[in-house]
A and B are shown apart, each in its own frame.
Chain A
Amino acid sequence: MSAFLRRFARNRGAVVGAVLLVLVIGMALFAPLLFPGSPWDMAGAPFQPPGEDGMLLGTDSLGRDVAAGIAYGAQVSLIVGAVSTAVALLIGVALGAVAGYLGGWADDAIMRFTEFFQTIPSFVLAILLVAIFTPSIASIIVAIAVVSWPPVTRVVRAEFLSLRNREFVQAAEVLGKRPLAIVLTDILPNALSPIIVLASLMTATAILLESSLSFLGLGDPNMMSWGFLIGSGRSVIRLAWWMSVFPGLAIFLTVLALNLVGEGLSDALNPRLRKRGAAH
């Protein structure tokens, strides 16, 4: 484990990303302590610039605290990012594993099904799904998961195809291990590193997708998210730049952090780099 951390830490960007990510998660966890009450509360006069009236990042058109909105928005963004990624992984890994392990007609069927989803532009499909199921946090998570699983399936299938014929797998088969056990205990742990890297990047994409949906007014109207903050601030940007700039920065930094962490994980988990690291 410490070797893994050392390899991860060698990528300086990854460390910066990890620190940022910890800060964002901390902000989400401690939002109720930092800003007691609700982010929808009208805490001060409307359109107060940052710093005035005790509002660190100013207030919006209803006098709501932008800083509180960003802190609570972190909760929404992280929940949506994490849950939708988890759901997408569940679908993607299951289908990819079946396709890669069984091969044959099952592989063909699953891959055609996956390609069908990949031909539809993912953002358009997400808009469509949210619009049909009426905007709510659940429908947004489902929509993002539905448009994000196909790449996971392809990566997992590729890994399984190459691991499928390795000697340790054949050995397990000869020993009479059941297929499900082989998939879960022999192949999957060895295919885990690309999945972990992919997951960190997918979380970033999910946060962007949720923000885009909220920006277009398709967010959960009862949830204060970063996209909502930018969307509601966009039209008054000449009057109150802080309403869209700060949530925009929050999205930018979080997505950047997730990408840096993903890159760091990729380096740390890459066996070739691992050897190079050992040689040093």
Chain B
Amino acid sequence: MTLLARRSLLAAAAAAPALLRLEEALAQGIAPRRGGTLQTMLTPEPPVLVLGVNNQGPTLIAASKIYQGLLKFSPTLEPLPELAKSWALSDDKRTYTFRLQENVTWHDGKPFTAEDVIFSVMKFHMELAPRARGIFSRIREAVAEDAHTVRFTLEKPFEPFLLMFDVTTVAIVPKHVYDGTDYRTNPANARPIGTGPFRFGEWQRGNFIRLERYEGYWKPGQPYLDAIIYRIVPDSQSRALALQTGQAILSQANDIEPFDVPRFRAQPNLEVQTKGWEYFSPLSWIETNHRVAPLGDVRVRQAIAHAINRDFIAQRLWFGVGKPATGPVASTTRFFDATAQMPKYDVRAATQLLDAAGLKPGAGGVRATIRHLVLPYGEVWSRLSEYLKQSLRQVGIDLVLESTDAGSWARRIAGWEYETSINFVYQYGDPSLGVERTYVSSNIQKVTFTNTGGYSNPRVDALFAEAREAADPADRQKAFSAVQKLLVEEVPQIWLMEMAFPTIHERKLHNVIQLGTGVHACFDDVFLAA
């Protein structure tokens, strides 16, 4: 107990925003109403609804209503209580102690305890998720102090540790169902069992997934909704129509194409939000292979960065859904430094840099020819590549576009068989979790979403290592600011846009986007006004 007393208890402060929201709702005269079914959509259909077994976008959206994490995160990435009602960090910054909610039951009626948490972290996700394995292998000891207290002791301090406990990264799964089985083939995967406000109801493949209110949910009186129905609608125009006619009252992620967004913004009964992706903060960039001349030359990369109008991309291609990137760290990610700015749109500066790099205009004004693998993720990405081709043509770089399919794209990026392409990567709230991997030389691997470009700079390696190992956020900020300033000079990848996805819902649906994970919240406080 003395140890506990010495720890700074953060939970009370963290709980405040949740209370505020309820007050706000009451102040507006909208008391939560019980009842009603939320009709929404899911694109594409997930293969399974067990987090960890599958962590793709659609799975995360639907399964985050069934499962919960220890914590959830505000739009500014402050941790908020979920299955953990409070938590504390020891003075040596190595021991995290979580106090768990006590009256939580699994959907099969069994009680939720500290053992479930230890099993989920140390066994389930450790085996299934490579990203979790990289972080959790730093845990020296995981102990259940009692049925509702868990203690993790790390080898070394790791400041972003708490960010790992969102449901989208580490969902807590029932030990009594999974321990000692093959997690991937466990028959219970067909009817997932979690602690969340909604339990699995019915899944007609290719048609819909129905989640129903779990009556034994640990927050009294919640959830407010009777059920959530996720309809599988493969065609984007049909989805837009469903939203327009009110057959669906919520769309999320990739459901609605950017070019349809202005139309829905004008529809008075709908609200369009682009918030709720701060935890993921996907950043898109021109993936450049440094092994290919002239892309290894920093002046050429700077010139390309100068030649591209990122405002045009955000406004004209994505219709204002997302905003222009300023550097390697998204502005919504922790330790973002606004003073580190990548080269601005300036065609004259671009041509001067190319002259300096010795790339003189040849026949037809062409200075260099670079091949470009178009990202095969749909139309807007093809348009983006066409825009880049045209922008670079203005400074004398001939971008030759190559089409491919999704499988070949991943294989060629992983195999370093490309000159340029487009890529976008989740940042998971902290540069050590989601940014470092693209730039450090120790992560030059033949695997997608590693440092496939082959950028190598000992200073950058050292600064990322320093920021990763420092226990004090102020020290981390110093190292991250330094590395951001260095990277915007070197532009190892040419950043384009901080991406967001539109969440569109009827105004009578309340409390949809409150967290930095947006529609990945458990929806226990979402309600339909009369």
Contact = CB atoms under 8 A, between A and B. Distances in A.
Contacts of B404: 134
A232 B386 CA distance: 11
B365 to A, nearest CB: 12
Q: Could you say which of B259, B387, B402, B403 has the most chain A C-beta atoms within 10 Å of its C-beta?
A: B403
Interface string A125-146: 0000001001100000000000
A230 to B, nearest CB: 13
B205 interface: no
Interface stretch (B166-174, B377-385, B431-439): B377-385
Contacts of B297: none
A38 interface: yes
22 contacts: A40-B390, A40-B393, A46-B316, A61-B316, A61-B383, A62-B317, A62-B383, A63-B316, A217-B382, A218-B403, A221-B382, A221-B385, A221-B401, A221-B402, A221-B403, A222-B389, A222-B400, A222-B401, A232-B382, A235-B236, A236-B259, A239-B263
B489 interface: no
B259 A62 contact: no
Interface of B: 236-237, 257, 259, 263, 316-317, 374, 379, 382-383, 385-387, 389-390, 393, 400-405
Interface in A189-218: 217-218
A239 B374 contact: no
Given A40-B390, A235-B257, A134 B379 contact: no
Interface string A224-247: 000000001001101100000000
Contacts of B386: 40, 62, 221
A173 interface: no
Nearest to B262: A239
Contacts of B236: 235
Contacts of A41: 390
Contact of B390 (A42, A131, A238, A239): A42
Contact of A62 (B316, B400, B402): B316
Interface of A: 38, 40-42, 46, 61-63, 131, 134-135, 217-218, 221-222, 232, 235-236, 238-239
B379 A232 contact: yes
Given A38-B393, A61-B259, A61-B317, 13 more contacts: A42-B390, A61-B316, A62-B383, A62-B390, A134-B403, A218-B403, A221-B401, A221-B402, A222-B401, A235-B236, A236-B259, A238-B263, A239-B263
Query: Which are the 6 A-B pairs with shortest beta-carbon distances?
Result: A221-B401, A135-B403, A40-B390, A221-B403, A236-B259, A46-B316
A118 B400 CA distance: 35
A28 to B, nearest CB: 20
B403 A40 contact: no
A139 to B, nearest CB: 11
A40 B390 CA distance: 7
A63 B401 CA distance: 20
B263 A62 contact: no
A244 B12 CA distance: 59
Contacts of B389: 40, 222
Nearest to B379: A235
B486 to A, nearest CB: 34
Contacts of B259: 61, 235-236, 239
A99 B196 CA distance: 74
A217 B236 CA distance: 17
B402 to A, nearest CB: 7
A42 B236 CA distance: 27
Contacts of B390: 38, 40-42, 62
A232 B374 CA distance: 15
Contacts of B405: 131
Contacts of B403: 134-135, 217-218, 221
Contacts of B402: 134, 221
Nearest to A60: B383
Contacts of A63: 316
A134 B373 CA distance: 11
Contacts of A232: 379, 382-383
A208 B401 CA distance: 23
Q: Could you say which of B236, B259, B263 has the most chain A C-beta atoms within 10 Å of its C-beta?
A: B259
B385 A235 contact: no
Contacts of B317: 61-62
A225 to B, nearest CB: 13
B325 to A, nearest CB: 20
Contacts of A134: 402-404
A235 B237 contact: yes
Q: Could you say which of B236, B316, B393, B400 has the most chain A C-beta atoms within 10 Å of its C-beta?
A: B316
B432 to A, nearest CB: 37
Q: Could you say which of A61, A217, A232, A239 has the most chain B C-beta atoms within 10 Å of its C-beta?
A: A61
Contacts of A222: 389, 400-401
B487 to A, nearest CB: 29
Contacts of B263: 238-239
A263 B348 CA distance: 57
Contacts of A62: 316-317, 383, 386-387, 390
